[in-house]
Amino acid sequence: MDPLTFRPWPHPPPDPAVFAPTPDAAATFDEHEELKAILRTGNAHFDTQVHAHITARGQSFPLFTASIGTQDPLAPAVGFFGGIHGLERIGTQVILHYMRALLFRLAWDELLVQQLQKVRLVFMPIVNPPMEPESAVMLQVVRDQLASRPFSLALDCHSGYGFADSIWFPYARTRRLMPHLPEMFTLMTMLEQSMPHHAYSFEPQSNQYLLHGDLWDHAYDHTPQGHVFLPMTLELGSWLWIRKNPRQLFSRHGIFNPIKAHRVKRVLRRHADLLDFLTRAAFAAPRWLPGADRRAQLSQLATAHWRPRQLP
């Protein structure tokens, strides 16, 4: 393989018409058009699939996944998801920003190409529930392309709760701590050592509030036995944007997204390192995943660090 070229999996590509720009701007939205532009540009690198079509406002939108990296089904993988709640467009923008940067880097970054020979990246930037079929498609993608592997990570990017950015992991429905707490604690420790000035609050979602029916709880609980699947959500602190620009409250999108251009750019810059960190962590998983002899000690440390709060 040419060191600066990467080829997608050899399965039949979608009809090229699905990537064409939408002539009527009123019949689409910016992130959908940007995703199609990225897939057109990266058609020699991305393995793109259309899993379903979403119907909204009388228009049909293809539900894309785009993957890149090794074809080894046992290799580690990372999934990046966005747009799960529809109106929360900033998470989609974070993923699109990373996808576009990857494509540009493939032209010169030989280390990235070598990395992709041992790891698989799966992008689903626009999931767009609350329609049930789209949730089902996302869970199927997780089952088939992530949790089916011995090791995988997932990051769901969207705007969320509070003034600060948070990384949450299961469980949401219960204050019980997840079985893979030692692995998650090790990952958090690596993040703090690699990015010591990051501003993320890294904790179980249940430390903040309980939520039944969470998709990532479901996906995690259905991971095949013996496999390690670590799903996380990047909760972008949307209250900060509203505090700085209270008029956003009167905009349907302003409640969930930064509106001013300089704030959007700041968000895109701030989180690129996190996505790159997770890609590298998946690549290097054999070097840091704790062995059986360390899991008990790490579990004690993690439990002390993330001890669930008492219900009032």
Which pLDDT value is given to residue 160?
65
Per DSSP, 281 falls in state H
Nearest-CA neighbor of 222 among 275, 146, 284, 158? 146
Identify the CATH number of the domain in which residue 210 sits. Answer: 3.40.630.10
Segments forming the whole domain that contains residue 139 = 16-305
Amino acid at 62: P
Region 74-91: mean pLDDT is 85
Residue 235 covered by a domain = yes
Burial class for 60, CB neighbours closer than 10 Å (0-12, 13-18, 19+): exposed
| Count: domains in the chain | 1
* 133-190: pLDDT as tens digits: 578 899 999 999 999 999 999 999 987 665 678 999 999 999 999 999 999 999 999 9
* 8-30: pLDDT as tens digits: 445 567 888 899 999 988 888 88
Q: Rounded distance, CA 298 to CA 282, Å?
A: 19
Amino acid at 176: R
For residue 262, give Cα distances in angstroms to 29, 37, 70, 90, 258: 20, 23, 36, 13, 9
Task: Please enumerate in sequence order all residues whose Cβ is within 8 A of that of 102, keeping only pairs 6 or more positions apart, or say none.
Answer: 68, 112, 121
Residue 310 covered by a domain = no
Tokens of 59: 């228009």
Residue 42 covered by a domain = yes
Residue 9 covered by a domain = no
Compute how many other C-beta atoms are within 10 angstroms of the C-beta atom of residue 255. 16
Residue 172 covered by a domain = yes
